[in-house]
Amino acid sequence: MAGARIVLGVSGGIAAYKAVLLLRLLREAGHAVRVVPTVSALEFVGRATWEALSGEPVHTSVFEGTLDVEHVSLGRSADLVVVAPATADLLARAAGGRADDLLTATLLTATCPVLMAPAMHTEMWLHPATVANVALLRSRGVHVLDPESGRLTGADSGPGRLPEPDTLAAAALALLAGPVADPRTVLDLAGRTVVVTAGGTREPVDPVRFLGNRSSGRQGIAIARAAAARGAHVRLIVGEISVATPDGVVVERVGTALEMRDAVRRAALGAEVVVMAAAVADFRPVHAPEAKIKKAPGQPPEPIVLVENPDILAELVADPPDPQTLVVGFAAETGDSEGTVLDHGRAKARRKGANLLAVNAVGEGRGFGDVANEVTVLDAAGCVVTSIRGTKDQVAHGLLDVVAARLTARSADASDPVSEPRTTILR
Ligand code: CTP
């Protein structure tokens, strides 16, 4: 949606400086932005900065801009309201339905999506009053981002940091791009690139025949849809699928395992997450003749000699295009005399070394096609991280909850000097 009208609310916290960069990013994306700071926000960044960068007047009170009845018109005409940073006080006033300045009055009149990015000290974020206010706002359909963990204003560190401007912009643009299926969906993958593979590969036997498998692609496609709804840039690499691909994701179609391997390695560069939900054929015919194989009356058919395909997932782990990428695999298992589904899953988790492996039982009406799933998520050591039961959409969101938590923990480690390994320099 180009040329949208965005109201950027800014409340009084030190992180207001990040909203300046957010304003620039929204303007560069082609949108008109009207900045509505609170009076205390102007203590951190002055009116002149907001006016110069937005090219629009900046008011804080309902008694300014009265000819246009701004306290009603701004909210009514907006396509999106973003509040960044949203302080504990702003959240409390919004949750209480107060209208004691232009920003809160605008929030009461807005009928468009509303995105709030809280930022405050950890104690304030964890206080039961704030927790209740956030829950109330989310229950009304407001998208409240979780703050990041890391260094705060002083020497303290913990959850409460405003996400970086590009993450905020990505979350805002994701909301403008289309309705989010569930308004309570948390945009916790905003700004992240997620690669998902789905469906089965087809290995040619000759120009008309192939070796394939029964994968419908539903689980991978549910993951792609869920990741996009959570604000991620999604690149979906699909083999043979029996369902439609979701809107709002970049789709690349491939045929064979070798084509999928190339596509995944290209897409994985710069991606934060790769989810290998595809059913990749383990073997391919050594040779696929260019002409159709004919029956020879009275002659037995030539045997099809197979060669092993590369294991795309194991290669990603052993030789990652980007060492920071979180790699998630799937394991479709049936129990047998050698062990249970979970036994085989644990062995596969250790063998493949992916950061996470989602193990599901297949066969006898389970796992494939349009049926509910039961998935156990293991880490690289084969330890159970969580178990998820439900539809493929619920499994997708459950898995992405784990992925998002891992990404947040990584960013916290990277930005928090306290948790960085200490080096002693001897002089
Ligand atoms: N996978 C892959 N490349 C392959 C085979 C599988 O990347 N050539 C990935 C799948 O996308 C999945 C995971 O590896 O994420 C496990 O797939 P699965 O078929 O369960 O395991 P296999 O390695 O094929 O082992 P086996 O069939 O022997 O159980």
From residue 243, alpha-carbon distances to 7, 154, 238, 373 in Å are 38, 51, 11, 17
Annotated catalytic, 213? yes
- At 425 the pLDDT is 27
Under the banding of pLDDT at 50, 70 and 90, the label for residue 156 is confident
CA distance 219 to 20: 40
Give the range among 259-268, 304-313, 333-342 with minimum mean pLDDT. Answer: 333-342
Taking the centre of ligand 1 as the mean of its atom positions, its distance from the CA of residue 48, in whole angstroms, is 58
Q: Mutate which of 219, 311, 336, 357 to test ligand 1's pocket (most atoms within 8 Å of Cβ)?
A: 311
- At 413 the pLDDT is 67
Fold: same for 5-177 and 193-415:
yes
Give the closest residue (by CA) to ligand 1 atom 9: 313
Answer for the pair 5, 78: CB distance below 8 angstroms, yes or no.
Answer: yes
Q: What is the pTM of this model?
A: 0.75
Taking the centre of ligand 1 as the mean of its atom positions, its distance from the CA of residue 258, in whole angstroms, is 14
- When pLDDT is averaged across residues 172-181 and rounded to a whole number, the result is 73
CA distance 4 to 1: 6
Looking at domain 5-177, its CATH class is alpha beta
Q: Considering only CA atoms, which of 262, 273, 276, 259 is closest in space to residue 348? A: 276
**Domain coordinates in residue numbering, the chain:** 5-177, 193-415
Give the closest residue (by CA) to ligand 1 atom 24: 282
- At 421 the pLDDT is 34
Q: Does the pLDDT value for residue 318 go beyond 90?
A: yes
From residue 316, alpha-carbon distances to 116, 234, 261 in Å are 36, 18, 9
- Strands, DSSP E only, in 181-337? 193-198, 203-204, 210-211, 233-238, 250-253, 273-276, 283-285, 306-308, 326-333
Give the closest residue (by CA) to ligand 1 atom 3: 311
Under the banding of pLDDT at 50, 70 and 90, the label for residue 181 is very low
Number of the ligand 1 atom closest to the C-alpha atom of 315 = 7
- At 426 the pLDDT is 27
- Does the 193-415 domain belong in CATH 3.40.50.10300? yes
Give the closest residue (by CA) to ligand 1 atom 6: 280
Give the closest residue (by CA) to ligand 1 atom 21: 331
Render pLDDT for 101-143 as a digit per residue (tens, 0 to 9).
999 999 999 999 999 999 999 999 999 999 999 999 998 989 9
- Backbone φ and ψ for 419, nearest 5 degrees, come out as -90, 0
Average confidence score pLDDT of the chain: 90
Q: Could you tell me the two tokens for 97?
A: 């339905």
Taking the centre of ligand 1 as the mean of its atom positions, its distance from the CA of residue 311, in whole angstroms, is 7
Q: Mutate which of 282, 307, 344 to test ligand 1's pocket (most atoms within 8 Å of Cβ)?
A: 282
Taking the centre of ligand 1 as the mean of its atom positions, its distance from the CA of residue 404, in whole angstroms, is 24
Q: Could you tell me the two tokens for 304?
A: 């099809």
Compare 148 and 32 and report the one with higher pLDDT: 32
Q: Buried (b) or exposed (e) across 347-386, using 16+ Cβ within 10 A? A: ebbeebbbbbbbbbbbeeebbbeeeebebbbbbbebeebe
Taking the centre of ligand 1 as the mean of its atom positions, its distance from the CA of residue 284, in whole angstroms, is 14
